[in-house]
Structure formats: structure tokens, C-alpha cells
Chain A
């Protein structure tokens, strides 16, 4: 992979990106490589179309939402730093991440909280900071598939919301969301090894 080193120079602001995301040089190179491969017209950014062409994403029930998560605030394109910033959520948590907690610095993108927040905003379509029953139902519909009737799905949605809903407002806030998953090893379940 001799060509990779030449790419290093190509990545703009490589250092600041690395500082923000915590990716290793190698990972960043790999991602940049991938970014350029996805960017079909060499326009320097990715559009939704670019991501939608990834075949397997089309069958992923959450594919659309995940593509959407790369385009915050309705923007139409994502540049490399933005691309990497999203993927940084899935960097495995390492010892130094937890040890060198600087209270002044913002939490690293791969912290438990941020991982959870990423998942949360996939549910929270209208971005009101709450997963309403309706939003829960939509996700369930994607996940559960056709075997269960709509009616049952609604029951499940009700119960799911109710289970996590602590203040009784009929929706799941991020705090409640975090709490409902406090026993789960999120650091592990939301990490991909190769994204070191």
C-alpha cells in the first residue's frame, strides 16, 4: 500500500481530524481511501446518492436513517471530516480514552454517551429530544418485520415506551434512553474493531 502514504498528504487537516476523532493514522487513511472510493464523481464530498449506492445498505432496515445521520441539519453533502466524525462514534473505547479524561475537553466522540446519542438520534426523527410512541413504532416496524400485526406492534411500542418512560410523558427522553440501557455493554456493542 505504498499509495497510501501519498494520500496522507491529501487529507486536509489530518491532524485536527485525528485529534477530534481519535482515529489512528492508519484508520484515517483507510477511511479516506474509502471516502474517495464512495465519491464517484471526485467532487470532494459525498451526497446521499453516493451512500445509497452501497448495496447492502439498501436492505438494512436502518439504512436510510444511517445515511441520513451523515447529513446533519438537512445538508446535502458531507465532506471528509464530517464523514469521519460520524464514524468516530464506533471507534472502540480504549484505556487511554477513559484515563486521559480532561474535564475541559469535550467528551470523545466514542464515549458511551455519544455512542448512545448516535443511536438515540436514529430513533428521534423529529429531533425534539424525545422518542415518541410514534417514533418507537416506526422503528419497531422496521425491525420486527412483517410477521407481527400492526396491532401487536402498537402494543409492543406502547410497552417499550412505557418501560423506559420514567416521568410519564409518554415519550423516551435521552436520559431515559440511557437509563434503559445502563446494564448493557454499549461500549462493546457499538464499536467496530477495525476503526481504531
Chain B
């Protein structure tokens, strides 16, 4: 159908070959000549409808979220189901028959995988494995318990005569029904719990259960189904054994398939360095392949995808580029949210079709009561057992939420639709009951769980920013616990986790991560890096009004408030004096040791934090006595960089991994850095009581150099120049030092040029050329009348606005020459070198 539509749309000629089979109804008619306009609804019908449904669902989502009040009270899934009911009613009224239902095939092959992949991929793995015991217990024992008790109780109900005799079902039929109705549904749980924000442990237990119980559900459903088809008389003891065995085959097999594909995926992404563009696609394709493979082998497909996502994430994230990461994340979220929306809407629509229904109050009510009751009972019993083994026992409130959060959803519905009416005569009743159960759990429980959680004062999840200390100490604690387990001689969870981490570090990561990524991938480093980014971003965000002294405190360092005031002034002072130093440095640097110096400087500039570390003591010292230039210099100069390098670091780090391929992409950082400096400068002017003391004052060069009295202006000028040019210069260093290539922190140097100078060029080509020109070029022409400095500044600023210009480094140098105002640039080069030489 699709193929036909495509071929017809594309080229009538190409499609001609297939035409006869496509249009058997009109072979006799002569073609009525060239048509100016042709209506071909049937050729596009299928994809068009799919697109239309998704569109409707998305629009509905937008409409729901127009009102905050509604969405804060009612979970989206409820709204969608209700919308589905309405739409289904309209379709029914218009078409006189129920259409567009939730087809099990569509559901299992297209709608479910993205949701499961999303949840598996973004599953907090540490939390998941920390609670694996509980999750597995609830998923396996709990589901078995629910299925058997519900099935048996319903059968008992029927024996007691409370279910109408029309419902022709034996014990096996009820067990089959029990098996499909008992499984907690990942889609429903996710939809509801994502809005409730209970604490992570509780969430991971309920959600993990809903994912892992798929294997049990599949097995139970299949076993019961085949028993029903065989007829209870023909079931032999070996069949029961086989049923039990298949539980292991299906679950372990599914997990194994998932892990194999995770391995393949990680391995593949290791080699995508030059074809970054297909990275996101690979993730989706291989994960989907895992799903289909498991489905094909009738293993647990949900388990396969979950394990695939869980297993591959660490390596894939490290291997793929920063942009691919974002793409994967957003595409996954979009697909999952899309699928979820469509599922709930179609659920609503499907419920309208009364031809599939047969109502029996006894069965419906009985099922509702039983699933609630047995779920609660099961949770309490299992929790009691589990708490004997848990370090942190699950308390009563947790148990209530877990019982109440056992939502049923589309999986149950799809499974019940799949039943064979000839084999299961009571199918219609089961369908109706399932619909009611699903609606009840999603709507009633979904609506009430939020108030319930509030009322019970369930511990909510709390988001606190990661800090380096926490991350580091957490690692320490892990190692301590592993060591203590060694000493005690009990090889428990910590021991094995430690073992696994060592194995992972030694072999797996080596095998599955590309080298550059492997080096970077360390959690502590990761936190450090992210904190830096955040600081940089917030700093830039505040850039407009840095005037206030708080503008310079960093949000990730909450405890420093007390010190903030002094350090801010110090910072300002430093940035100011940094400028002066630049100027003063100029004469000293004339000896041409630029290269080593550049290397050295590059090393230094990696030290994002050096400046602030010592700022208190050293800066003060410097400010007061003016002499210890070396120290002060290092600090002060770095201050300028600090800001920049932090934000550059953000990209540089990612560019470390994706350096080669992200060519041509200009980040905002250039603009932002400018904003920053302006802010900083103005801060300078504001805060410094007298130019003498603060910004450019204390160094001797200051006093000696005639233009020094340009203070504020100069400071601005210089610092802004620093951002722009320093990097270029440092590329020399970059090119020459291997260590610099290795180093992570170095990126400020190598990456800044991208920002400023070389946007459209592929990096690899650019790097070697650009830097070599400049440093040597402008230096000799060092003349620096104050008046011209201003001119030069304005000029260079304008040139900064036109990145193309800067792209040609020599050009810029020349221009500076002609304008007699190269001092600015020059001074910068000098600074850099000087810095290097001093240290």
C-alpha cells in the first residue's frame, strides 16, 4: 500500500510497472487525457491518517497545556483518554462504524518501543541496580501472585454464581485473563508518576517493576493462551514444567538480546567519528532491532529494549558527539511522548466500539476489587519479606503508593484484543472488563494519586545541584564500603559493584569507548565540567548587570556568600590590573620565545580555577605592594581568562570529542563573552573608587607607561581583546604540544578560535595555519599612543563583529599596522608570552 502510494506519487512512469496490480478496477477505461488536477486520496491515505492522528494528539496536548490549572490537577493521560472517547464518538457518529482503533500490531511494533527505549535509556542506572532486588521481586513474584490470585478469585466468583452464566470461561480462561490484567503497565505508570514526583526510590521500584514484569506477563499470557487452546484436558505435567522453563528463557533471553545489541551499538558508535550525522540514527535503529529481534524470537521485547538502553547509554553517550547526544535525547523524548499520546487517545477511541464489548457487572466489579485488593496484599507481603534484607526499609506510606500506583494500561488492552474469540468464548466480556479496568486505573487512580501523595506526605524527589564534593565523597563512600565488605569477608552488593566497575574500567570501557572519550569519561570530571558550564552560563546571563557585586558570585558555590563581597572586589581589581599587566609586559616579551611561552601559557590557561583559588591572599598582596608581579600577574591575568575559559570550556570539552566534525558551527559564546567583558568592565568602573588603586593601578608598568591613564577604557579594551585574540595565539602552542592535545582543559585555547576567527572552516585545516601568522606578526609594530588605542579598540571591535574578517588572521594584523593601532593586539600576545615565561 505504502509502496504503491510512493511509486505513484513519485513518477507515473516508474510506477507503471506496478500499476496493473494497483488499479485492477480501471483497466478498460481509456485514459481521459492529461489531467490538470488529480485527487489521489487513496494513495496517501494510510500515511496521511497516521500523520493526522499524531497531529491531532499533539494539538490536543497543546490545548491541554494552555491551562495550567487543568494539567496540574488532571494527568495528561486522563485528558487524552477522554479526548479519545470524544473523538471516537464523533467518528462513530459520522462513519457509523468504529474505526481507528488501537491495533495490537501497531501498538507492539510501533507505539511501545519508543516509550520503552526512552525509559530504558534514561533510566538512572545506579538507582536501578541499587534497588534491583526489590524491583525483581515485585516484577516476578508480584506479577505471578497477582495473576494467579486474580484469576483464581474470579473463577471462584463465577463458581459462587456472582458472574452471569453467559460468561463462558473455565479456570484456565480466568487465569489467562488474570495474567493479562495483572501486569502493571509501564506507559501508564510513567505517564502518571512523571507528574507526581515521588522520591526516586519509590519511583524506580514501581517503574522498574512495570518494565521488568513484561517478561512474566508475556510468559504467563503465552502459556495460559496455549493451555486454553490445547484445552485443559490435554495439558500435561511436562507442559507446566515447560511453562516455568519458558519464564527463564523469555526473560533471560530478552535481556541477553538487549545486552548483545547494546554491545553492538556501543561498539558501532566508537567508529562514527567521521560520520557523526548518523549517530542518533544508529541508536534508534539498533535499539529497535533489539526489540524486533526479541519479538521475533518471542522473547521479552520490552526487557530487551530496556536492557539495551540501560547497557549502552554510558558508552554511547561518551562516544557520540555533543550534538548527537542532544538529538538522541530530544528525538527519543519526542517519539516517546508522541507514542504515549497516541496510545492514550486510541485507547479512548477503542473503548467506543461497542461491538467488541459485552458487559457483565459481576465480572467487572469483581475484577476491579480483586486487582486492587491483591495488589495491595501482594505488595504488603513482599515488602515485609524484602524489608528483612533492605538497608532502608520501605515504610507503610511507600507501600500504599506502590499498591495504588499499580496502573494497568495499553499492554493489557492490546493483549486482550489479541485473544482468539473461537478459543476464548468470553473474550468480549474480558475486553469490556479490561477497558473498564484500564480506564479506572488511569483516570480514577491517576487523578487521585497526586492528592494522595500529598496527603500522605510521601517523600518527594528533591532536586539539588550536584556538587563536586558530593560526587567525590560519594565515590569515596562506595570504595570504603567495598573495602569494608572485603574486610568483613562478606561479598555483598558493594563488593560486586566495585568488581564490575573495575572490570568495566579495565576492559569494557577500553573496548567500547573511543580513546579520547574514554579519557574524558569520569564522573568526577564530568561534574566538574558541568559545574563550570553552569557557572559560565549564569555568569553570562548576568552579564548585562554585573555591576552589582553579586554578579560575580557563582551559583554553584552557595556557601561562599560570606566571602563573595571581598572576592568580588578582588576579582575586579584583578581584572583591572590584568589589563595593566598586559601593557607592562609588552616590553619584556620582546625576546622571541613565543612558542614555548605559548605552550606554557596554554598549560596555564587550562587552570580554570587557579585564579580564584588564590585570589584572596595574592590579589590583596599584589594590590597593596604592587611589586610581586609574578604572582599577581598570574592571578590577575587569569581572572580574565577564568570567565572566558569557563564558558569556552563548555564547548571545548565537547569539541574535544567532536572537534573534527563540528566545523562551521558558531556558538554564541563569542557574543556572550563580549557581553561579559562589558559587564565586567563596567563593574570595574563602578566599584573602583580610584583608578589608581584598582583597575590598572598597582603595577609599575602602569605608572611608567604613558597611556596607562586610559584606565577604564583600556581595561575594557584589553580584556575584550584578550578573549578574541589570545586563543589564536595559543593555537601555536596547541599545535606544538602533544600534551595540549591530550589535555582536557586546554580546549579554551583551541576552541576559542572557532568561536571568533574561523567559523566556516573545518577545524582540522584551520588549526595549523592560523596561529602561526599572528604572534610573530604584530609584535614588532608596537606603538601605543593612548588616543590610538581607543581607535584601535573600536576598530577591532567592529572586526569582531565580522567573523569573516578575523578568519584571515594576517589581514587583521596588517590592518592594525596601517592603523597604527596594533598595540592592542600586540599587548595581548605579549601577555600571553609573558605569562608563559614567568611560570
Q: In the bound complex, do residue A140 and residue B524 qualify as a contact, i.e. CB atoms below 8 Å apart? A: yes
Q: In the bound complex, do residue B482 and residue A56 qualify as a contact, i.e. CB atoms below 8 Å apart? A: yes
Q: With the chains together, A66 CA to B476 CA distance in Å?
A: 11
Q: Shortest CB–CB separation between residue B810 and chain A, in angstroms?
A: 32
A119 within 8 A of partner (CB): yes
Query: What residues of A have a CB within 8 angstroms of the CB of B603 in the complex?
Result: 151
Q: Which residues A150-196 have CB closer than 8 A to chain B?
A: 151-152, 154-156, 158-166, 168, 170, 176-177, 179-181, 183-184, 186, 188-195
Q: Which residues B487-545 have CB closer than 8 A to chain A?
A: 487-490, 492, 494-495, 498-499, 502, 505, 518-522, 524-525, 528, 531
Q: In the bound complex, do residue A160 and residue B469 qualify as a contact, i.e. CB atoms below 8 Å apart? A: yes
Q: Shortest CB–CB separation between residue B319 and chain A, in angstroms?
A: 15
B688 within 8 A of partner (CB): no
Q: In the bound complex, do residue B492 and residue A122 qualify as a contact, i.e. CB atoms below 8 Å apart? A: no
Q: In the bound complex, do residue A60 and residue B472 qualify as a contact, i.e. CB atoms below 8 Å apart? A: no
Query: What residues of B have a CB within 8 angstroms of the CB of A163 in the complex?
Result: 467-469, 556-557, 559
Query: What residues of B have a CB within 8 angstroms of the CB of A177 in the complex?
Result: 469
Given contacts A66-B480, A143-B524, A159-B528, contact A51 B742 (CB under 8 A): no
Query: What residues of B have a CB within 8 angstroms of the CB of A11 in the complex?
Result: none
A22 within 8 A of partner (CB): no
Q: In the bound complex, do residue B606 and residue A152 qualify as a contact, i.e. CB atoms below 8 Å apart? A: yes
Query: What residues of A have a CB within 8 angstroms of the CB of B473 in the complex?
Result: 119, 180-181, 184
B90 within 8 A of partner (CB): no
- Select one of B479, B488, B521, B525 contacting A195, CB under 8 A: B488
With both beta carbons as reference points, the residue of chain A lying nearest to B481 in the complex is identified as: A192
A34 within 8 A of partner (CB): yes
With both beta carbons as reference points, the residue of chain A lying nearest to B603 in the complex is identified as: A151
| Segment with Cβ contacts to A, from B273-281, B389-397, B406-414 | B389-397
Q: Shortest CB–CB separation between residue B242 and chain A, in angstroms?
A: 37
Q: In the bound complex, do residue A189 and residue B559 qualify as a contact, i.e. CB atoms below 8 Å apart? A: no
Q: Shortest CB–CB separation between residue A80 and chain B, in angstroms?
A: 13
Query: What residues of B have a CB within 8 angstroms of the CB of A108 in the complex?
Result: none
B117 within 8 A of partner (CB): no
Q: Which residues A114-163 have CB closer than 8 A to chain B?
A: 118-119, 122-123, 133, 139-140, 143-145, 147-149, 151-152, 154-156, 158-163
Given contacts A152-B606, A155-B608, A192-B494, contact A160 B479 (CB under 8 A): no
B563 within 8 A of partner (CB): yes
Q: In the bound complex, do residue A194 and residue B479 qualify as a contact, i.e. CB atoms below 8 Å apart? A: no
Q: In the bound complex, do residue B745 and residue A62 qualify as a contact, i.e. CB atoms below 8 Å apart? A: no
Given contacts A59-B502, A119-B476, A163-B557, contact A155 B492 (CB under 8 A): no
Q: In the bound complex, do residue B390 and residue A193 qualify as a contact, i.e. CB atoms below 8 Å apart? A: yes
| Segment with Cβ contacts to A, from B26-34, B43-51, B137-145, B609-617 | B609-617
A82 within 8 A of partner (CB): no
Q: With the chains together, A140 CA to B524 CA distance in Å?
A: 9
- Which of A31, A57, A155, A177 has the largest count of B CB atoms less than 10 A from its CB? A155
Q: In the bound complex, do residue B744 and residue A191 qualify as a contact, i.e. CB atoms below 8 Å apart? A: no
Q: In the bound complex, do residue A60 and residue B483 qualify as a contact, i.e. CB atoms below 8 Å apart? A: yes
Q: Which residues A45-83 have CB closer than 8 A to chain B?
A: 51, 54, 56-57, 59-63, 66
- Select one of A87, A180, A188 contacting B392, CB under 8 A: A188
Q: Shortest CB–CB separation between residue A82 and chain B, in angstroms?
A: 13
Interface string of B455-481 (1 = CB under 8 A from A): 000000010100111101111110111
Q: With the chains together, A127 CA to B557 CA distance in Å?
A: 26
- Select one of A139, A152, A166, A170 contacting B476, CB under 8 A: A139
Secondary structure type dominating chain A contacts = helix
A37 within 8 A of partner (CB): yes
Q: With the chains together, A139 CA to B471 CA distance in Å?
A: 13
Q: In the bound complex, do residue B468 and residue A190 qualify as a contact, i.e. CB atoms below 8 Å apart? A: no
With both beta carbons as reference points, the residue of chain B lying nearest to A120 in the complex is identified as: B473
B562 within 8 A of partner (CB): yes
Q: How many A-B residue pairs have CB under 8 A?
A: 182
B700 within 8 A of partner (CB): no
Query: What residues of A have a CB within 8 angstroms of the CB of B612 in the complex?
Result: 158, 162
Give the number of chain A interface residues (Cβ < 8 Å): 63
Given contacts A122-B476, A166-B559, A181-B470, contact A144 B525 (CB under 8 A): yes
B743 within 8 A of partner (CB): yes
Given contacts A119-B477, A162-B613, A180-B469, contact A92 B531 (CB under 8 A): no
Q: In the bound complex, do residue A147 and residue B743 qualify as a contact, i.e. CB atoms below 8 Å apart? A: no
Q: With the chains together, A194 CA to B495 CA distance in Å?
A: 13
Query: What residues of A have a CB within 8 angstroms of the CB of B488 in the complex?
Result: 30-31, 34, 87, 192, 194-195
Q: With the chains together, A99 CA to B499 CA distance in Å?
A: 37
Q: Shortest CB–CB separation between residue A142 and chain B, in angstroms?
A: 8
Query: What residues of B have a CB within 8 angstroms of the CB of A59 in the complex?
Result: 502
Q: In the bound complex, do residue A143 and residue B476 qualify as a contact, i.e. CB atoms below 8 Å apart? A: yes
Query: What residues of B have a CB within 8 angstroms of the CB of A170 in the complex?
Result: 613
Q: In the bound complex, do residue B607 and residue A154 qualify as a contact, i.e. CB atoms below 8 Å apart? A: yes
Q: Shortest CB–CB separation between residue A150 and chain B, in angstroms?
A: 9
Given contacts A60-B498, A145-B505, A147-B518, contact A37 B489 (CB under 8 A): yes
Q: With the chains together, A18 CA to B739 CA distance in Å?
A: 56
Q: Shortest CB–CB separation between residue A20 and chain B, in angstroms?
A: 18
B486 within 8 A of partner (CB): yes
Q: In the bound complex, do residue A148 and residue B483 qualify as a contact, i.e. CB atoms below 8 Å apart? A: no
With both beta carbons as reference points, the residue of chain A lying nearest to B390 in the complex is identified as: A193
Q: In the bound complex, do residue A156 and residue B560 qualify as a contact, i.e. CB atoms below 8 Å apart? A: no
B484 within 8 A of partner (CB): yes
Query: What residues of B have a CB within 8 angstroms of the CB of A192 in the complex?
Result: 391, 481, 484-485, 488, 490, 492, 494
Q: With the chains together, A133 CA to B607 CA distance in Å?
A: 15
Q: Shortest CB–CB separation between residue A139 and chain B, in angstroms?
A: 7
Query: What residues of A have a CB within 8 angstroms of the CB of B744 in the complex?
Result: 148-149, 152
Q: In the bound complex, do residue B606 and residue A179 qualify as a contact, i.e. CB atoms below 8 Å apart? A: no
Q: In the bound complex, do residue A66 and residue B483 qualify as a contact, i.e. CB atoms below 8 Å apart? A: yes
- Select one of B392, B481, B556, B743 contacting A90, CB under 8 A: B481
Query: What residues of A have a CB within 8 angstroms of the CB of B476 in the complex?
Result: 62, 119, 122-123, 139, 143
Q: In the bound complex, do residue A160 and residue B525 qualify as a contact, i.e. CB atoms below 8 Å apart? A: no
Given contacts A181-B473, A191-B391, A195-B488, contact A159 B606 (CB under 8 A): no
Q: With the chains together, A131 CA to B474 CA distance in Å?
A: 16
Could you list which residues of chain B lie within 8 angstroms of chain A, going by C-beta atoms? 389-392, 462, 464, 467-470, 472-477, 479-490, 492, 494-495, 498-499, 502, 505, 518-522, 524-525, 528, 531, 556-557, 559-560, 562-563, 603, 606-610, 612-613, 616, 739, 742-745
List 28 interface pairs A-B (beta carbons < 8 Å), by A numbering. Answer: A34-B488, A37-B489, A56-B495, A56-B499, A57-B483, A57-B486, A60-B498, A62-B483, A66-B487, A87-B484, A92-B391, A139-B472, A143-B476, A149-B745, A151-B743, A152-B744, A155-B610, A156-B524, A156-B528, A163-B468, A168-B563, A168-B616, A177-B469, A181-B470, A184-B474, A186-B477, A192-B490, A193-B391
Supplied contacts A56-B495, A156-B525, A180-B559, 15 more A-B pairs, CB within 8 Å: A34-B487, A56-B498, A62-B479, A62-B480, A66-B487, A119-B480, A140-B524, A144-B522, A148-B519, A152-B606, A154-B607, A158-B613, A160-B469, A163-B467, A194-B492
In order of increasing CB-CB distance, the 5 nearest A-B pairs are A180-B469, A158-B609, A147-B519, A160-B468, A66-B483
